[in-house]
Structure 1
């Protein structure tokens, strides 16, 4: 598919607080292409989460456009935006948010079945993803029976189950040790490169930025290239 996967065009987002209006995004622009891995860094409170939520259609801006594969997502109704999130976007968070009562394979298969994939096919896809993640023998284990790194790899597999065009990761290795962080992030990179997804990763871990195609930061509500001091 030609053209950018994600375009944020002139995004404005302002929060209204007791102290008055707090502009967070001011005409923010972003373009992500297939297979591109872009990092987002900056201090807490700079607007990273707001940007991710806007790109992921979890938060609606006051102005601008969110284009995903050429679709003007903000012109869609709630049902349409939900369908785009389900079919085109994968989310990875700092905490895995796996369902504790389900095993690893069923956690991965869940979004597939919600999207209408038959149970047998969904489980086969889940097992294939577990094998790619190096977790082929962990499919029947519940999250509480796995290490933090294993749980996060399951969460990544779940995010990629529906072959998303866009992957949004918010501190995906924030609660892991350095060795596990490298392993988990390397797995994420391999998966998205193979699938040709566009990836936007917010992180405080500057060691991870060396693996990214571009690194951006928010400055006065606009995205600019990050330049280490």
Structure 2
């Protein structure tokens, strides 16, 4: 996923870009509002999945930038700022921001919020229909019927195995944190559930007979590696 980071502090931007890149994002850094707006303008460029917008920009207020972004695109915007009062949050959301994160923040929470808002809005104009199936080489995931097949042969999966595979297949190549997977598939917190996740990953690799399909990213989580067709 391409992500536009609007942050005037180069040290903060460099550190955050490194974390985001490690988690599978392609980060474009804009140092002020005008740079951000120029980055969003090219119609032929690959669309951004999310905009992380700092409010304390040198050339114009971040609220103004958010309003101008909203006129250009429906790409999700997460405001990242030290302004923690309720009035500031409400103002940001009313201007069209999809979420509001207060500094200092936990990196894990920020990543979870990025994934959450990117799932709510499709890239582009947001009018494309939701996918009903996902094909990854010989693997076909049919979402309405919850059926998975490999080279035309149906593979019997449990409910949680299917949910796990469908989640990872939303964004092939993007790393999903363990905590995020546990939260979305098992609807619970990480504590005590880590072993359950490992067992389900191992089971999926075995049933699909494609151990390289789900890659373990040590210390972070898992990502789905699309095989060649």
Q: TM-score, normalization: structure 2? A: 0.30
TM-score normalized by the length of structure 1: 0.30
| More relative contact order, 1 or 2 (CA 8 Å, 6+ apart) | 1
Q: Which has the larger radius of gyration?
A: 2
Higher strand share: 1
